[in-house]
Structure 1
Amino acid sequence: MAIYSSAVFPPSQLWDYAVKLYNNPEVSAACLRLQDRRGLDVNMLLFSVWVAASGRGRLTDAEMIAGIEAGARWQADVVAPLRHVRRYLKGDIAPADNRLAAELGRGISDSELFAEHMELQFLNEILTRPATGSFGAAERGEAAADNLAAYLGHVTRDISRDDLSDLLQIWQQAFPGADPRLTGLFGPSLQ
């Protein structure tokens, strides 16, 4: 029972990219660990990588702050409550009928995904500059690592080895064959 149709959204390269990257089991697992361990916004992680991968380079400080602030409000007021209800419905919720709870859970899951899609839509609208196509693969990878480092720098003071490992997992799937030692984010921890 699909409640929503993604057809109501305008075409979005960011959405297409995020879905493709997140559908990689290693990426989704790493994103969810970062979300659960650090409270990071998965959409901001994917957005930070996509900006560079799409040839737009590094996020400006103003773009990063706008994305973090808009995403944080949306996550707190819309996505997190939906996620909480979805997770709650997965357990035993007696005296409610578990079959009905599972059906409600599917609807909540559809709503959560729709809300995530909405967030990616407004994150995409933060950028007003087009992709230039002038960045090589190494430059795009370095810019993505810088964007991830800038995002983490805005939301936490302490980046653990586990955080770096999860970020590296996402980065390597986004830039297969690229050398993480050449980036400012991963280089020092890999040498």
Structure 2
Amino acid sequence: MAIFSTAVFPPSQLWDYAVKLYNDAGVSAACLRLQDRRGLDVNMLLFCLWAAASGRGRLSEEELRAGIAAGQRWQAEVVAPLRHVRRFLKGPISPADNRLASELGRGVADGELFAEHMEIQFLNEILNRPATGSFGVEERGGAAADNLTAYLNHVTETIDTEDLSDLLIIWQQAFPEADPRLTGLFAA
């Protein structure tokens, strides 16, 4: 039984895009590795890709900063605590009944997903310019790589080959017809 209803959310192309992309097993695994290894916000990664994929191009510095600030606070205050509780409840919980802990875990997981949807909603509102739809796949892929690079430059000092490999998995699923060597991020 779901605790929360997604029907309360207005329609969102960003949410639809994020769910579709994240439902790919390789993408979700790469996103979670980047989240756990580097503390990256999966929603921001998907937002960076969607901005370009949707024909909105490169994020402005103001859009990027607004998304990072809002996401960091929301992740720290809401999502991360829910994630911590959900992960804690996966193990044996003595003296609590494990069956009850499992039920509670499902409710917390629903809450975590609802909180992630809320973050996507306010990221969607940051980028309120219309899509032009006039960009080719290579240009959209390049803009997405630039958005990812700009995001990474704001939130981490180092990117290693594992990080690039995971980013490439995500990027290639988002832009399967584009050549990663034509981007600044994957050119090397």
TM-score class, shorter: over 0.9
TM superposition shift of 1:128 = 1.9
Alignment partners' CA distance in 2, 1:75 and 1:14: 18
Native 8 Å contact 2:55 2:134 kept in 1: yes
Aligned to 2:68: 68
Native 8 Å contact 2:4 2:111 kept in 1: yes
After superposition, the C-alpha distances for 1:62-115 in whole angstroms (9 at most, x for unaligned) are: 100100000000000000000000000000111100000000000000000000
Native 8 Å contact 2:137 2:177 kept in 1: no
Look up the SS of the partner of 2:110 in the other structure: helix
- 1:2-41 counterparts in 2 under 5 A? 2-41=2-41
Aligned to 2:167: 167
Alignment partners' CA distance in 2, 1:101 and 1:157: 38
Alignment partners' CA distance in 2, 1:172 and 1:88: 33
Residue 151 of structure 2 corresponds to residue 154 of structure 1: no
Q: Percent same amino acid at aligned positions?
A: 79
After TM superposition, the runs of 4+ consecutive aligned structure 1 residues lying more than 2 A away are: none
TM superposition shift of 1:177 = 2.2
TM-score for both structures, normalised by structure 2: 0.99
Root mean square deviation of aligned Cα: 0.5
Alignment partners' CA distance in 2, 1:93 and 1:157: 37
Aligned length: 188
TM superposition shift of 1:139 = 0.4
Aligned to 1:176: 176
Aligned to 1:118: 118
Alignment partners' CA distance in 1, 2:22 and 2:182: 24
Aligned to 1:82: 82
Aligned to 1:98: 98
